[in-house]
Structure 1
Amino acid sequence: MNLNQTTLLAGGVLAMGLTGAAAAQAEPIRNVVIAHGALADGSGWRKVHDLLTAKGFAVTVVQPPMTSLEEDVRATRRILDMQDGPAILVGHSYGGMIVTEAGRADNVAGIVYVAAFQPDEGETLLDLAGRIPAATTGITSTTDGFLYLDPEVFAADFAADLPKEEAEFMARSQVFPAAAAFETPVGEPAWRAKPSWALIATEDRAINPDLMRTMAERAGSTIVEVTASHAVFASQPEAVASVIENAALALADQAVVQ
Structure 2
Amino acid sequence: MTAVVLVPGLYHRSEHFAVVAERLRTTGTEVVVPELHRGSLLADTAAAQAAIDALQEPPVVLGHSYGGSVITGVRGAGHLVYLAAFVPDVGESAAGLGGASPQLHEAISPGPDGSTSLHPDRAAAILYGDCPEPLAAWAVALLRTQAPGCGRGVPERHSWKRTPSTYVVCAQDRAIDPGLQRKMASRCTEVREWQTGHSPFVGQPDLVVELLQELLATTTSRGRGEGVTTAR
Q: What TM-score results when the alignment is normalised by the length of structure 1?
A: 0.81
Provide the C-alpha distance between the structure 2 equivalents of 1:69 and 1:199, rounded to a whole number of angstroms: 22
Give, in angstroms, the shift of residue 161 of structure 1: 1.7
Give, in angstroms, the shift of residue 177 of structure 1: 2.0
Give the letter for the 1:97 counterpart: S
Give the letter for the 2:62 counterpart: V
Q: Which stretches in structure 1 are left out of the alignment for 5+ residues?
A: 1-28
Give the letter for the 1:64 counterpart: L
Matching of residues 168-207 of structure 1 within 5 Å: 168-207=137-176
Aligned match for 2:202, one of 234, 241, 249: 234
Provide the C-alpha distance between the structure 2 equivalents of 1:93 and 1:249, rounded to a whole number of angstroms: 25
> Per-residue CA shift, 1:180-204, capped at 9, x if unaligned?
1111112231000000011111111
Matching of residues 239-250 of structure 1 within 5 Å: 239-250=207-218
Counterpart of 1:165 in structure 2 is: 134
The 1:223/1:65 distance shift into structure 2, 3 A limit, reads same
Give the letter for the 1:140 counterpart: S
Give the letter for the 2:163 counterpart: K
User: Which is richer in helix?
Assistant: 1
Give, in angstroms, the shift of residue 65 of structure 1: 3.0
The 1:30/1:81 distance shift into structure 2, 3 A limit, reads same
Give me the identity figure in percent: 27
> Per-residue CA shift, 1:61-83, capped at 9, x if unaligned?
11113411111111111111210
Counterpart of 1:125 in structure 2 is: 94
Q: What TM-score results when the alignment is normalised by the length of structure 2?
A: 0.90
Give the alignment's Cα RMSD to 1 decimal.
Answer: 1.8
Give the letter for the 1:94 counterpart: Y
Q: 8 Å contact 1:114–1:240 — kept in the other structure?
A: no
Matching of residues 39-118 of structure 1 within 5 Å: 39-102=11-74, 105=75, 107-118=76-87
Give, in angstroms, the shift of residue 60 of structure 1: 1.0
Q: 8 Å contact 2:36–2:47 — kept in the other structure?
A: yes
Q: 8 Å contact 2:139–2:202 — kept in the other structure?
A: no
Q: 8 Å contact 2:117–2:145 — kept in the other structure?
A: yes
Q: 8 Å contact 1:66–1:176 — kept in the other structure?
A: no
1:225 equivalent in alignment to 2:193:
yes
Give the letter for the 1:194 counterpart: T
Q: 8 Å contact 1:158–1:230 — kept in the other structure?
A: yes
Provide the C-alpha distance between the structure 2 equivalents of 1:143 and 1:34, rounded to a whole number of angstroms: 31
Point out the structure with max Rg over C-alpha: 1
The 1:33/1:141 distance shift into structure 2, 3 A limit, reads same
> Per-residue CA shift, 1:30-60, capped at 9, x if unaligned?
0111111112211111111122222221111
Q: 8 Å contact 1:109–1:195 — kept in the other structure?
A: yes
Aligned-partner SS, 2:48: helix
Q: 8 Å contact 1:206–1:230 — kept in the other structure?
A: yes
Provide the C-alpha distance between the structure 2 equivalents of 1:55 and 1:151, rounded to a whole number of angstroms: 35
> Per-residue CA shift, 1:97-125, capped at 9, x if unaligned?
111112xx2x3111111121111121111
Aligned-partner SS, 1:251: helix
Q: Which moved more, 1:233-242 or 1:45-54?
A: 45-54
Aligned-partner SS, 1:75: helix
Aligned-partner SS, 1:108: coil
